């Protein structure tokens, strides 16, 4: 589904954010990407739907080369859902309008169809009573659940999560993770940048550990938590699992 | 000290002053603001676009307009627009566009330079995550701007845009140099006809002051309301 081959990326002339990154995510697979801050994990996931350009290598999404100048990027992005650290709901639109905008303007669905789909997804994330509120009236956890519903409304073939719980108060993290766990169990293809190792243990198939722009470890979940091969991954795990 | 003044001249000419003069001024202000904001937004988008050439052209335009006195621009446009019309349509002689059209085009082009800077600040005030989220949904650049960025930028900047429109309202009095019948022009005509310069210019000042002051007060209240909603 997602293939990342020998990707190199620089910010400016000197700072290399990604160094020869290669990995892939198969259909129905849940891959968690972790690593210390500044390791390039967010950058990597943003490259997958070309929100960030890459300078070398290639990324192939469902058979289409993302970094080909001839690729119709809006069309490709419409097929991949993305959830951001800071939710990025559209503050000037009501919750239900947030869910309808992409469906109507990008997919060309009728207003009624979009509303029905939006209402169904709001119900699914447990927020159907909030359809006519504005994002600022909701808590962080609720906003992030709306953001997930907004992405799902486009009927994506895969979902990208960029630190979806990092900006949340601790008591709100589980309500978002619950939605993500359900999604994973339904067989959604997911690439998730997160520090939530509990989530990784529960539903991930593979875990990727990044440090300083490199993919240091790319292992099956049990191998990763059981016996990480690299020192850096071991150190990272011991730091975040010890308390 | 007012013994020699005849303030009744104001009462006698109220109909002409407001129904003709003020109506003209408000029409010119409204249309100029509308056109200036639309054109200014386009200039702002050019400046913020990734294309260096477009950005430079827009930047030069803004600097150029802001470096000229408005009165001069009004004069020049009045003389130039007929020739530009001739050049565009290939007519054999300069096209007479009328003083109102000429003034309107002038104000739209001149004010667009100022409105564009306001809209540029407004667009830059939107966090980069917003267009990223719109792009991630599959929206094109135009859709992202139209449905996500510009509505927010416009709302954030509404008080400043309205304040600039109040300045524009006062600036429209400069069409007086083309002897157009705006509010000041009308007051001036009555003043010259009846020899009541002091009365009429005093009254004109009071009217401009009152309207601008009231409008500014309205903008401040609007600002307070918007800041609560956000």
B158/chain A closest Cα distance in angstroms: 14
Are B148 and A154 in contact (CB < 8 Å)?
Answer: no
Q: What is the pLDDT of residue B93?
A: 84
Q: Which residue has the higher pLDDT, B94 or B37?
A: B37
Are B137 and A154 in contact (CB < 8 Å)?
Answer: yes
In this structure, what DSSP letter does residue B47 have? H
Nearest CA in chain B to A78: B138
Are B143 and A78 in contact (CB < 8 Å)?
Answer: no
**Count of beta carbons in the 10 Å neighbourhood of residue B77:** 22
Q: Which residue has the higher pLDDT, A71 or B7?
A: A71
Degrees, nearest 5: CA angle A161-A167-A170 = 105
Q: What is the pLDDT of residue B229?
A: 52
Nearest CA in chain A to B153: A92
Q: What is the pLDDT of residue B207?
A: 95
* B135 chain-A contacts, CB cut-off 8 A: 51, 73-74, 77
Under the banding of pLDDT at 50, 70 and 90, the label for residue B1 is low
Q: In whole angstroms, give the CA distance from residue B23 to residue A2.
A: 63
Q: What is the pLDDT of residue B78?
A: 87
Note whether B41 and B150 are within 8 A (CB): yes
Q: What is the pLDDT of residue B26?
A: 95
**Probe site for chain A from B125, B137, B146 (most A CB atoms < 10 A):** B137
Exposure on the CB side of residue B112, measured as CA atoms within 13 A: 25
Nearest CA in chain B to A154: B137
Going by their DSSP bridges, the two strands A56-61 and A214-220 should be labelled as unpaired
Name the maximum alpha-carbon separation found in chain A: 55
Q: What is the pLDDT of residues B131-165, one digit of tens each?
A: 999 999 999 999 999 999 999 999 999 999 999 99
Q: What is the pLDDT of residues B60-99, one digit of tens each?
A: 999 999 999 999 999 888 888 788 888 888 888 888 778 8
Exposure on the CB side of residue A189, measured as CA atoms within 13 A: 17
Q: What is the pLDDT of residue B179?
A: 85
Q: What does the block give as tokens for A196?
A: 């939530």
Residues with Cβ within 8 Å of residue B192, at least 6 apart in sequence: none
The SS3 of residue A222 is: helix
Contacting A residues, span 85-104, partner chain B, CB-CB under 8 Å: 86, 88-92, 101-102
Share the mean pLDDT of chain B.
91
Q: Is A11 on the interface with B (CB under 8 A)?
A: no
Torsion of CA B13, B19, B21, B25, to 10 degrees: 150
Are A91 and B152 in contact (CB < 8 Å)?
Answer: yes
Mean pLDDT by 10 residues, chain A (243 residues): 95 92 95 92 95 94 93 95 96 96 96 96 95 95 97 96 94 94 95 93 94 93 86 86 66
Nearest CA in chain B to A48: B136
Strand stretches in chain A, DSSP E: 2-11, 15-25, 30-34, 56-61, 64-65, 80-83, 158-162, 190-193, 206-211, 214-220
Q: What is the pLDDT of residue B85?
A: 80
ipTM for the complex shown: 0.93
A89/chain B closest Cα distance in angstroms: 8
Q: What is the pLDDT of residue A243?
A: 58
Are A80 and B136 in contact (CB < 8 Å)?
Answer: yes
Nearest CA in chain A to B146: A105
Helices and strands of chain A, counted as H and E runs: 9, 10
């Amino acid at each position: 589904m997602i293939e990342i081959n020998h990707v190199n990326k620089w910010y400016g002339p000197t700072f290399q954010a990604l160094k020869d990154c290669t990995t892939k995510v198969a259909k129905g697979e849940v891959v968690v990407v972790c690593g210390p801050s500044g390791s390039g994990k967010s950058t990597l996931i943003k490259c997958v739907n070309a929100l960030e350009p890459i300078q070398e290598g290639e990324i192939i999404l469902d058979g289409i080369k993302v970094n080909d100048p001839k690729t119709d990027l809006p069309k490709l992005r419409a097929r991949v859902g993305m959830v951001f650290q800071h939710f990025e709901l559209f503050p000037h639109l009501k919750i239900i309008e947030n869910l309808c905008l992409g469906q109507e303007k990008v997919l060309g669905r009728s207003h009624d169809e979009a509303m029905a789909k939006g209402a169904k997804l709001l119900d699914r994330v447990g927020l159907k009573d909030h359809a006519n509120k504005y994002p600022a009236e909701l808590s962080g956890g609720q906003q992030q659940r709306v953001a997930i519903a907004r992405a799902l409304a486009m009927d994506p073939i895969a979902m990208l999560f960029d630190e979806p719980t990092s900006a949340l108060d601790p008591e709100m993290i589980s309500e978002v993770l619950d939605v993500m766990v359900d999604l994973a169990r339904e067989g959604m293809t997911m690439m998730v940048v997160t520090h939530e190792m509990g989530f990784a243990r529960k539903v991930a198939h593979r875990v990727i550990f990044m440090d300083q722009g490199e993919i240091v470890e790319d292992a099956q979940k049990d191998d990763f938590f059981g016996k990480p091969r690299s020192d850096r991954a071991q150190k990272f795990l011991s730091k975040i699992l010890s308390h | 000290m007012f013994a020699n003044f005849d303030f009744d001249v104001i009462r006698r000419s109220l109909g002409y002053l407001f129904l003709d003069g003020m109506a003209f001024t408000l029409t010119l202000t409204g249309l100029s603001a509308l056109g200036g904001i639309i054109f200014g937004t386009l200039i702002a988008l050019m400046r913020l676009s990734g294309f260096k050439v477009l950005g430079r052209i827009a930047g030069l335009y803004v600097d150029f307009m802001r470096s000229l006195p408005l009165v001069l621009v009004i004069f020049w446009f009045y003389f130039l627009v007929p020739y530009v019309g001739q050049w565009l349509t290939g007519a054999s002689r300069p096209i007479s566009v009328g003083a109102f059209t000429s003034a309107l085009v002038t104000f739209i082009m001149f004010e667009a330079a100022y409105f564009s800077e306001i809209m540029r600040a407004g667009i830059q005030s939107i966090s980069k995550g917003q267009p990223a989220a719109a792009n991630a949904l599959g929206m094109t650049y135009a859709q992202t701007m139209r449905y996500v960025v510009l509505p927010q930028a416009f709302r954030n900047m509404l008080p400043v845009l309205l304040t600039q429109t109040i300045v524009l309202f006062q600036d429209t009095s400069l069409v007086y140099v083309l002897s157009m019948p705006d509010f000041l022009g009308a007051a001036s005509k009555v003043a010259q006809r009846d020899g009541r310069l002091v009365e009429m210019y005093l009254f004109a000042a009071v009217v401009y002051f009152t309207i601008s002051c009231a409008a500014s007060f309205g903008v401040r209240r609007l600002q307070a309301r918007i800041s609560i909603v956000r």
